[in-house]
Structure 1
Amino acid sequence: MKVLTILLQSVLLMSALAVSGQVVYAGGHDHGGEAEAVEEKGPNGGKLLREGNIAAEITVFETGVPPEMRVFIYRDDQLLSPEEGKLSMELHRIDGQVDQISFKAEGDYLRGEQTVVEPHSYDVVVRLRVQGKAYEWKYESHEGRSLINDAMAKASGIETDIAGPQTLDITRQLFGVIEVPIDRQAGIYAPYPSVLEQIHVAIGDKVQAGQKIATLRNIKTLQRYNVKAPIGGEVVEWMASIGQRVDENSLARVVDLSKVWVEMSAFPEDIEQLALGQPVRVADMHQHEIAPGEIIYIAPQMTGGHIARARALIDNGNGHWRPGMHVKADIRTAQRDVELAVRNEALQGFRDFTVVFGRFGDQFEVRMLELGQSDGEYTEVLGGLKPGTEYATKNSFIIKADVLKDGAAHDH
C-alpha cells in the first residue's frame, strides 16, 4: 500500500508538471524541451570559460580539505603562471546571499581563500584580469534544486514548516510490564463458616462498590446473608462453587483496572536520570496504543542483578492495558531549549549528508545539516540552515526523487 501511495503521488506530480508545460530536470532547470548544450571541460575536469584566446578553468577541490575554488588560467590553451592573473568571484545563492571569493596564487593555479559551503548551488560571476585586460563570465551551477509551484506541491501532498526555536523533550526509554495496583484489587471472604448458596455475578462482570456478590448460609445459625464488593471493578476470579463449605478462605477477587501500574526495569545509569513526577509516554510493543502517565515510585535499592524498579501510573479507561502485557516507556528526563530545530519527518539522506529541502518561491533546494540532539519529533540544527527558512516536511521524499531522477552527480 505504501509503494502504491508513493507511485500515485509521483504520477500526480508529473501530471502537474505536464499541465504546466514545463519539463523539470534534476537541479531545477527548465529546458523548454530543448537539449542542453554540453559544456566544455578543461584538462583538470573543471568548467572551461573562454573569451578570445584567454580561458579560465573553474574547479572545486575538496579532497582532504574544506571545499575550495581552484582556477587554472590559459592563453592559447597553454597554462599560464597564476601570478599573471588577478581573479575574484561571486556566488549568488537562491536565498539572496552573495559569497565573495578572493584568490591567491598557489602552485600552478589560483586558490580561493574562502570555503565554498554546501550546497554548491549558485549563479556564478567570474572576473579575471590578465595583462591589464578584464574578462567577465556568468554561469549557473545548480545542484539539489527542484521547481515545484504551489499547485504541484498541493497535488503531491508536500507540506512545509518554518525552521526556528524549539523545546526538545529529552527522554530515556525503559521496558516494563502492566500490573494491577495493590490498592485497586480486593479479595471477598466469608466472615464465618458458611455454605455458598448463590453466586450473583460471573467472572468478567463489572460491579460497583457495595454491590451484592453472593448469598451464603451461616452453618451455626442457618441464617442467610449476602457478601458485597468492597470496591468497584471487574470480577476476575471465583475460588468457590455453589454448595461448597467456606470458612475464612477467599470467595472471589475483584480488580479495578481503570488505572494500572507500569513496572519498569532500570539500570543504574537510568536511575540517575529518573525522578518522581516525571512524565511518561507508554506504548505497547506494536505502537498500537499510547498512554501518558508519570513516575510514582522509584525503588530505594537495586536487585542482585543491579536492576531497580521504577513505577508509573497510567489511565486504562478503554481496557487496552492488560496485566502481564509487555510495554516500553519513554520518560521525559529533561527539557532543552534550542535556537534552531526541524521536524524529523523532513530529514532525508542526500549523498553523504542528512538534509532538508528549503523552499524559495517556486523552488526547493537542498540544505546540508549539522545536527545535534533529537527528541524523536524535532532535531536540533547546529549548522547548514538559516533560522526562518521555510522547508518541506511531509512528503519531502518526492522532492528528493525529483532532484535525483537524472542522477545525483556532485559535478562542478
Structure 2
Amino acid sequence: MTKTLNLLTSLFMFFLLLGSNSSYSAGGHDGHDDEHQTKAAEGPQGGRLLTEANFAIEVTIFETNIPAEMRLYAYADGKPVEPDALTAKVTLQRLDGQQDDIQFSAEQRYLVSDISIAEPHSYSVDVNVEYQGKHYHWHYDSFEGRVELNERIMGLTGIATDIANSQTLTQKTHLFGVISAPPTARFNVRVPYSGIVSQVLVQQGDAVSKGQLLARVSNKTTLKQYDIISPAAGVVTERFFNNNELILDEILFSIADYRQLYVELSAFPNDIQQLRLDMPVTVFSLHHGETASSSISYIAPQMTEGHIARVRAVISNSSGYWRPGMHVEATVLTAEIPVALAVKKSAIQRYRDMPVVFARYGNTFEVRMLQFGREDDDYIEVTSGLKPGTEYATANSFVLKADVLKSGASHAH
C-alpha cells in the first residue's frame, strides 16, 4: 500500500510540475511529429519530404516484416527520378554520440540503405545527395521517446538511475513449508519399575541437560528409591505424573531436543526439475523476518496425491527462535550465471509495444528498445539494444514514459 501511494504521489508531482515547467521536451519520429511542433512536409510514400527548388527527396523507414531500412525516393519537377540517376549519403547522429554513416544502392524505384536502422529511430539527420552535377544538403531532427528534465525535477519526482553493467544472476526457486522436529529429537522417559512418584523436579517447558535428575520413584515392592535422569539435552514437552502418584510401565516425561530442526518444503513438478541435493537454502520466517541458512539434504523420490514432492533442509536452532509447526518460506539458489550486461527489472517500461529502459545522457532521457535473455528475481540479461556503461532510470521511470506519451509522439513513417 505504501509503495502504491509513493508512486501516485510521484506521478501527481510530475504532472503538477509539468504544467508549470517548460524544461520538458519529447520529440516526434520522422514524419514522427508531435502536437507541439510544425508538421513536416509529407511525401507520396508517407515519409519526410525535403525540397530545394524543383528537386525533392523523400526519406522513409520501411520495417514491415524485415529489419528497418531507410529508403529514399527522388523527385524532379514533381515527377519520380530513377534511383540510379543520383547518389546519396545520410548521417544519423544519435544522443549517445554514435554516428551512423549510411550509403545507398538503387533498388526498384528507390535507393535503399546498406545497413539496418537500429532502434530507437531518434537522431539528428544529415542528407547529402548528388543529382545532375548539383549537390543538395538537408539537416533536420527526428526524435522519439526523448525527455529532458533537470536535477531538481528528478529529485521531486523520485527518479533514480544506475549504470548498466555485467551482473551475476542468482536464479532461485521459491518454496513454502513448515518447521518440524526430527524423529531422533524426541525422547520418552519411562520408569524401569512400577512405583510411587516420590519427587518431580522439573516442569513442562523446562530446559534440561543430558544426565540431569528429573524425578525420584520408589519401587512398589522393595520401596527402594531410584533416580530418573534425562537421556538427552532438550526441553520437557510433556509431564504426565505428579508427586505420590502410582506409575506402572508408563511414560513419565517427554523431552525434545530442538537445537536442530527440519524444514519440510513442498515442491511442485516444475520446481523439482531444478532442485539438487546440497543446493543452498535460505529460510524466512513469515512473522518476524528471521532467516536461517542451510542446504537441501533430502528430496522425496515420490510425489504425494497432491502432486507435491517433499524437500528437506536441516537448520540450526541454537537461539530457540524456530519452533515446530511454524510456517516458513524458503529460497533455493539453483544457479549463478555471469552475464555481460543486465538491467534491473524494475526499470523496464513498455513503449510502442516493446520493452524499454530510459537511458540518461546529461539531462536528457531516451528510450532504448531491448532484447532479453536469462533473468533472476531482480535483474534480466540484455542481449541487444543497450551499451555497457549506460546510465539508465531505475526508479519511477513510469514518470518519463508518461511525459513521452503526453507529448503525443508517434512512430509513423
The equivalent of 1:379 in structure 2 is 380
The equivalent of 1:143 in structure 2 is 144
Normalising to structure 2: TM-score of the pair?
0.83
Paired amino acid for 2:22: Q
Shift of 1:224: 6.5
The equivalent of 1:263 in structure 2 is 264
- Cα pair distance change 1:262/1:55, threshold 3 Å: same
- Cα pair distance change 1:105/1:232, threshold 3 Å: same
- Cα pair distance change 1:57/1:247, threshold 3 Å: farther
The equivalent of 2:395 in structure 1 is 394
1:366 and 2:367 aligned: yes
Q: Given that residues 17 and 152 in structure 1 are in contact (C-alpha distance below 8 angstroms), is that contact kept between their aligned partners in structure 2? A: no
The equivalent of 2:209 in structure 1 is 209
Matched residues in 2 for 1:64 and 1:287: separation? 54
Q: Which has the higher contact order (CA 8 A, sep 6+)?
A: 2
Matched residues in 1 for 2:408 and 2:260: separation? 55
- Cα pair distance change 1:201/1:62, threshold 3 Å: farther
- Cα pair distance change 1:59/1:179, threshold 3 Å: same
Q: Given that residues 206 and 232 in structure 1 are in contact (C-alpha distance below 8 angstroms), is that contact kept between their aligned partners in structure 2? A: no
Q: How does 1:246-285 map to 2 (within 5 A)?
A: 246-257=247-258, 259-264=260-265, 274-283=275-284
Q: Deviations over 1:350-374 (max 9, x none)?
A: 2332222211111111111111111
Matched residues in 2 for 1:138 and 1:302: separation? 70
The equivalent of 1:58 in structure 2 is 59
Shift of 1:259: 4.1
Shift of 1:4: 2.9
The equivalent of 2:345 in structure 1 is 344
Q: Percent identity?
A: 44
Shift of 1:62: 0.8
Matched residues in 2 for 1:199 and 1:45: separation? 97
Matched residues in 2 for 1:101 and 1:272: separation? 49
**Deviates further, 115-124 or 69-78:** 69-78
Q: Given that residues 28 and 410 in structure 2 are in contact (C-alpha distance below 8 angstroms), is that contact kept between their aligned partners in structure 1? A: no
Matched residues in 1 for 2:148 and 2:366: separation? 9
- Cα pair distance change 1:9/1:193, threshold 3 Å: same
Q: Given that residues 234 and 255 in structure 1 are in contact (C-alpha distance below 8 angstroms), is that contact kept between their aligned partners in structure 2? A: yes
Matched residues in 2 for 1:212 and 1:351: separation? 77
Q: Deviations over 1:274-328 (max 9, x none)?
A: 44432113356899765432123345x5469797654212355777755345555
Paired amino acid for 2:100: D
Matched residues in 1 for 2:121 and 2:189: separation? 76
Matched residues in 1 for 2:127 and 2:271: separation? 58
Matched residues in 2 for 1:252 and 1:49: separation? 96
The equivalent of 1:68 in structure 2 is 69
Matched residues in 2 for 1:122 and 1:136: separation? 17
> What SS does the aligned partner of 1:135 have?
strand
The equivalent of 1:330 in structure 2 is 331
> What SS does the aligned partner of 1:152 have?
helix
Paired amino acid for 1:253: S
Matched residues in 1 for 2:22 and 2:100: separation? 30
Shift of 1:99: 1.0
Q: How does 1:6-405 map to 2 (within 5 A)?
A: 6-14=7-15, 21-27=21-27, 35-174=36-175, 176-196=177-197, 205=205, 207-209=207-209, 217-222=218-223, 227=228, 230-240=231-241, 245-257=246-258, 259-264=260-265, 274-283=275-284, 291-298=292-299, 301-302=301-302, 309-315=310-316, 322-325=323-326, 327-405=328-406
Q: Deviations over 1:247-276 (max 9, x none)?
A: 343234333445431234567886675444
Shift of 1:60: 1.1
> What SS does the aligned partner of 1:336 have?
strand
Matched residues in 1 for 2:347 and 2:315: separation? 32
Q: Deviations over 1:337-362 (max 9, x none)?
A: 21111222222222332222211111
> What SS does the aligned partner of 1:178 have?
strand
Q: Given that residues 28 and 411 in structure 2 are in contact (C-alpha distance below 8 angstroms), is that contact kept between their aligned partners in structure 1? A: no
Shift of 1:156: 2.0
How many residue pairs get aligned? The number is: 405
Matched residues in 2 for 1:410 and 1:315: separation? 59
Shift of 1:66: 0.5
**Deviates further, 371-380 or 173-182:** 173-182
- Cα pair distance change 1:6/1:317, threshold 3 Å: farther
Shift of 1:114: 0.8
Q: Given that residues 16 and 151 in structure 1 are in contact (C-alpha distance below 8 angstroms), is that contact kept between their aligned partners in structure 2? A: no
Shift of 1:389: 1.0
Matched residues in 1 for 2:321 and 2:141: separation? 59
Q: Given that residues 27 and 409 in structure 2 are in contact (C-alpha distance below 8 angstroms), is that contact kept between their aligned partners in structure 1? A: no
- Cα pair distance change 1:253/1:367, threshold 3 Å: farther
> What SS does the aligned partner of 1:36 have?
coil
Matched residues in 2 for 1:188 and 1:265: separation? 33
Shift of 1:95: 0.7
Matched residues in 1 for 2:155 and 2:28: separation? 18
Normalising to structure 1: TM-score of the pair?
0.83
The equivalent of 2:32 in structure 1 is none
Q: Given that residues 209 and 228 in structure 1 are in contact (C-alpha distance below 8 angstroms), is that contact kept between their aligned partners in structure 2? A: no
Shift of 1:53: 2.0
- Cα pair distance change 1:336/1:186, threshold 3 Å: same
Paired amino acid for 1:84: A
> What SS does the aligned partner of 1:41 have?
coil
- Cα pair distance change 1:182/1:159, threshold 3 Å: farther
**Structure 1: gaps (5+ residues):** none
Shift of 1:232: 4.9
**Deviates further, 330-339 or 107-116:** 330-339
Paired amino acid for 1:293: S
**Structure 2: gaps (5+ residues):** 30-34
Shift of 1:100: 1.4
Alignment root-mean-square deviation, CA: 3.5
Q: Given that residues 26 and 148 in structure 2 are in contact (C-alpha distance below 8 angstroms), is that contact kept between their aligned partners in structure 1? A: no
Shift of 1:64: 0.7
Shift of 1:330: 3.1
Q: Deviations over 1:59-92 (max 9, x none)?
A: 1111110111122222233322222332111111
Matched residues in 1 for 2:190 and 2:303: separation? 35
